[in-house]
Amino acid sequence: MEQHVEQPSKGPQSQFETGHNPPVQHMKQPGLQSQMGDPKPTSTQVPTEDSGYQTYKAAGKLTGKRAVITGGDSGIGRAIAILFAMEGASSLLVHLPEEESDAVETKKRVQNAGQNCYSMAADLRSKANCQKVVDTAMQCLGGIDILINNAAYQNMVDDIRDLDDDQWIKTFDTNIHPYFYLSKYALPHMKRGSTIINCASINAYIGRPDLLDYTSTKGAIVSFTRGLSNQQIGNGIRVNCICPGPVWTPLIPSTMTSSAMEQLHAVPMGRPGQPSEIATCFVFLASTDSSYISGQSLHPNGGVVVNG
């Protein structure tokens, strides 16, 4: 895995908490968390008001639950898997074959938290693979209580005239079609009280111009979430989505230009988020703490005010 770091890191507290730019790094897609330079993304350490960090404090909110997490090898997916495990949930992690090394590390961390964890390499652009994910979850976990649709692809292109047709199709085949198929195949196995949580993006609301295809799929995810919620709420199944702002994950150095990375601090809080800060939102929506919430979008984005 190739990596190039254009400026030295000063560590998470001085680099992120004071609003300075994160280091500009570049990796080949899809990017591995193990190859990222400092500051490392945090999966269990949550930033505090005094610019320090504290370990996430679990309270048994997901005891006995069984979760399927796509893109579960690194970044937000890894943080979700670990916090879910700390809260008592077992999981099946779905990842690309080239992300195997990150998936092994995530699986180890989930097991260290005392929960069962299984991993599966699959390209979810195939609806047959989506069915295999559900079949594997039923075989390994014995059921599905939580479906986390999180895996995504992006590649920056400034102008629609330069946006390759194949990239447009790949982005939709990766970012929205698997959400449909996984939900369709999982729902017959999900009982009242189960939840589906989709990962959208702030870009669906701000209309980011250099990620036109990605932004379009994230808008589709918001609408898919609202429609599916209205369809399934009578069955006692809640469907919500989360729309993160800039977050320090492998997706950033593997897909964004140097100038784009330099703007990661351009939110009111002055820093990109950590995966752990997004994963806490998934815990909330997966637990009974959010029992009266469905069809909604949460916006952990560093203070940006969005409409909708």
Residue entry with tokens 């989506």: 130
pLDDT at position 272: 87
pTM: 0.86
Q: Has residue 19 been placed in a domain? A: no
pLDDT at position 42: 72
Q: What is the CATH number of the domain that holds 197?
A: 3.40.50.720
Q: Has residue 24 been placed in a domain? A: no
What letter represents residue 238's amino acid? R
- Residue 113: give the domain boundaries: 59-298
Please report how the helices 165-175 and 212-232 are oriented relative to each other, as an axis angle in degrees rounded to 10. Answer: 30
Domain count, the chain: 1
Catalytic residue of the set 179, 181, 214, 292: 214
pLDDT at position 253: 56
Give the pLDDT of the chain (308 residues) as one tens digit per residue: 333 333 333 333 334 444 444 555 544 565 454 444 556 667 787 777 776 788 999 999 999 999 999 999 999 999 999 999 999 999 999 999 999 999 999 999 999 999 999 999 999 999 999 999 999 999 999 999 999 999 999 999 999 999 999 999 999 999 999 999 999 999 999 999 999 999 999 999 999 999 999 999 999 999 999 999 999 999 999 999 999 999 987 666 556 666 666 667 779 999 888 999 999 999 999 999 999 999 999 999 999 999 76
Q: Is the peptide bond before 244 cis (omega within 30 degrees of 0)?
A: no
pLDDT at position 45: 76
Q: Has residue 51 been placed in a domain? A: no
Catalytic residue status for 214: yes
pLDDT at position 34: 45
State the CB neighbour count (10 A cutoff) for residue 101: 15
> Each residue of 217-256: b (16+ CB within 10 Å) or e?
bbbbbbebbbebbeebeeeebbbbbbbbbbbbbbbbbbbb
Q: Has residue 263 been placed in a domain? A: yes
H helix intervals, 66-211: 75-86, 100-112, 127-141, 165-175, 177-186, 203-206
Residue 127 exposed, middle or buried by CB count within 10 Å (0-12, 13-18, 19+) = middle
Q: Has residue 303 been placed in a domain? A: no
Q: Has residue 82 been placed in a domain? A: yes
**Cβ distance 228 to 252 under 8 Å?**
no
Q: Has residue 63 been placed in a domain? A: yes
Sign of the alpha-carbon dihedral angle for 186, 153, 110, 278: negative
Secondary structure letter of residue 297 according to DSSP = E
pLDDT at position 162: 98
What letter represents residue 289's amino acid? D
